[in-house]
Chain A
Amino acid sequence: MGMMQRILWNNRREFLEGLLVTAQISLIAIAVAMVGGLVICLLRMYCRPLRWLATLYIEFCRSTPIYVQLMWVNYVWPELFGWPQSFFAAGWAALALQSSGYLAETFRSGIEGIARGQREAALSTGLTPFLTMRWVILPQAVLMMTPSLMNQFLVVVKSSCLVSVIAVPDLMYRALRLTSIWFEPIEILSFTAFLYVAIVFVLSAAIKWYSDRLRSRYA
């Protein structure tokens, strides 16, 4: 027990810094994924010539394992597009790529879920298509999509431990490095697993609570 406390406590900075990187990369990834997902969703719904491309993109993001995407972004994109040049950027780009496909579908079902009559009514009162989107469709759609959006964030947090594979110094990376330094996998890896479980559990409980509250208030 004393041993365990010493290793974990003496390296608390490592764990904290790792957690910070995990939080950073997850937040960047979900923010980029939201923007990307929205663009792709709008392309798919309202831009006929590019619909097939958007559909292919969505299917690709949803049907390829996240680890494969991470490797692909990390090794192939720099040669193909000249970007990303850092592991951190490759990490969030891959996480965002995966989520943007799922979010595009979430957004689409949210927008399509709004009854057609609402759109027609808004247009016939003289609102432009843009204003209809801004003031009639989006406010309702956002309310409906919020729970799935937050769940996607949870998925990002869970997948983010994979970026340790490409040497992004997140929580998992630090844990593996500490293990190879101290050679105490039992303490270090168990504590890390506990941290991940606790974070994901707390986040998912919070999401469930918030979604229930939204539903009881507005639905």
Chain B
Amino acid sequence: MIGEWMQAVTGSLFWEYRSILLFGLATNFSVFFLSAVLAVGMGLVACLARLSPLPSLRWCGAFYAELFRNTPEYVLLVWVHFVPPLLLTVLLHTRVNFSPLFSAVVALGLASSGYFTETFRAGILSIPRGHVEAARSTGLSGVLTLRWVILPQAVRKMLPEALNQFISLLKSTTLVSLIAVPDLMYQVAMITQEQMRPMPLYSGAAIIYFVIILTLSALVRKISEGWRAVGRV
């Protein structure tokens, strides 16, 4: 029993495969960065749609946000990986395949963009209307009002929430191993098949993610507190 427990925490097997595991971790982070870009971009677009004066656009934005907030990430991942390529194949009469990395980035980016839509919207709506009117009446143009009055306040308001979304996104990147993107969990599964010793490997993976995400969340908390302090004028 004690021997098994020790085996669970010793890192010898991990050290042996360190290069391949580090590469896996790097894959996690690249999927994270790419899908974060997509998520923020689509989140901004959908947020602007939600705030537009046109009811039809508003409705589309709301539908988009609700759709992606309510879909489990794994279901979306599998769907994106298998269904759109087939539909495109039928439409274009040529064989279309999505690479696992591409599907992973699209699925995680879309899933996360639903949350970003709401975060951005809440941030922008938190600015009192009077600020905009005051800025406009002093002669600032629409763009300048956005740049110097709305955004500095809105960004400060939504930053803590957005940073938390990024952490959730990083946690979700572990799912991409399920469609054979070679991330850390994928490498762990492969090495497990080779070595038949799941215990130290999966425990090690759990500890690695734990340390990384705990550190990042602590950092986020610190940054958010700093921003909140700056905001309190």
Interface SS of B by simple majority: helix
**Looking at the complex, which one of A76, A162, A201 makes contact with B203 (CB distance below 8 Å)?**
A76
Instruction: Kindly supply a per-residue 1/0 record for chain B positions 203-218, scoring 1 wherever the CB is within 8 Å of any chain A CB and 0 otherwise.
Output: 1011001100110010
Distance of A67 Cα from B77 Cα, bound (Å): 14
Does the CB pair B82–A201 fall under 8 Å? no
Complex Cα spacing A63 to B213, Å: 6
A196 at the interface (CB under 8 A from B): yes
Binds A, one of B19-27, B63-71, B117-125, B129-137: B63-71
Q: Is A190's CB under 8 angstroms from B209's CB?
A: no
Bound together, the chains give a CA A176 to CA B74 distance in angstroms of 12
Nearest Cβ on chain A to B95's Cβ, whole angstroms: 15
User: Is B174's CB within 8 Å of the partner chain A?
Assistant: yes
* Distance, CA A162 to CA B73, complexed state (A): 9
Partner of B214, one of A63, A197, A200: A63
Asked if B160 CB lies within 8 Å of chain A CBs, one says no
B2 to chain A, nearest CB (A): 11
CB closest residue in chain B, given A187: B83
Chain B's interface size range is 35 or more
Q: A67-B174, A69-B206, A80-B5 are in contact. Are A186 and B71 (CB under 8 A)?
A: no
Contact with A along B52-82 (1 / 0, CB 8 A): 0000000000000011001111111011001
CA distance A193 to B78 in the complex (A): 9
* Separation of A60 and B210 alpha carbons in the complex (Å): 6
User: Which A residues touch B202, using CB under 8 A?
Assistant: 68, 71-72, 75-76
Least CB distance from B59 to A in Å reads 15
Give A192 to B83 CA distance when docked, in angstroms: 12
| Set of chain A residues within 8 Å of B67, measured between Cβ atoms | 197
Looking at the complex, which one of B66, B72, B79, B210 makes contact with A64 (CB distance below 8 Å)? B210
Rounded to whole Å, the gap between the CB of B18 and the closest CB of chain A is 18
Find out whether the CB atom of B198 lies under 8 angstroms from the CB atom of A176. no
Q: How far is the CB of B210 from chain A (nearest CB, A)?
A: 5
A71 CB to nearest chain B CB (Å): 5
Q: How far is the CA of A79 from the CA of B3 in the complex (A)?
A: 11
| B13 interface contact, C-beta 8 A | no
A165 on interface, CB distance cutoff 8 Å? yes
Q: Measured between alpha carbons, how far is A69 from B185 in the docked complex, in Å?
A: 11
A204 interfacial contact with B, CB 8 Å: yes
Q: Is B72 a contact of A159 with CB atoms below 8 Å?
A: yes
Q: Indicate whether A72 sits within 8 Å of B203 (C-beta atoms), given known contacts A60-B210, A80-B5, A200-B72.
A: yes
Contact (Cβ within 8 A) A186 B87 = yes
- With a cutoff of 8 Å between Cβ atoms, the chain A residues found around residue B83 in the complex are 185-186, 189-190
Complex contact A65–B72 (CB within 8 A): no
B72 x A196 contact (CB < 8 A) = yes
Question: Which of A63, A71, A80, A193 touches B185 (beta carbons < 8 Å)?
Answer: A71
Q: How many Å from the CB of B229 to the closest CB on chain A? A: 22
Does any Cβ of B come within 8 Å of A27's Cβ? no
Residues in B neighbouring A62, C-beta threshold 8 A: 217
Q: Find chain B residues with CB under 8 A from A96 CB.
A: none
| CB–CB A64/B209 < 8 A | yes
Q: How far is the CB of B176 from chain A (nearest CB, A)?
A: 10
Complex interface bits, A155-175 against B, C-beta within 8 A gives 1, otherwise 0:
000110110110000001000
The answer to whether the Cβ of B175 comes within 8 Å of any Cβ in the partner chain is yes
Q: In the complex, A207 Cα to B75 Cα: how many Å?
A: 22
Interface membership of A179, Cβ < 8 A: yes
Per the bound structure, the CA–CA distance linking A148 and B171 in Å amounts to 21
CB distance from A189 to the nearest CB of B (A): 5
Cβ of B185 and Cβ of A67 under 8 Å apart? yes
Tell me the smallest distance from the CB of B121 to a CB of chain A, in Å.
Answer: 16
Say yes or no: A63 contacts B217, CB within 8 Å.
Answer: yes
B222 to chain A, nearest CB (A): 16
Q: With A67-B174, A185-B83, A189-B82 as known contacts, state yes or no: A76 contacts B198, CB within 8 Å.
A: yes
Whether, in the assembled complex, B178 has its beta carbon less than 8 Å from a beta carbon of chain A, the answer is yes
**Please, could you name 5 A-B residue pairs with CB atoms under 8 Å apart, sorted by A?**
A66-B171, A67-B177, A68-B209, A69-B206, A71-B185
Given A75-B199, A162-B72, A196-B70, 8 additional A-B pairs, CB 8 A: A64-B209, A71-B189, A76-B203, A79-B8, A80-B4, A193-B76, A201-B66, A204-B70
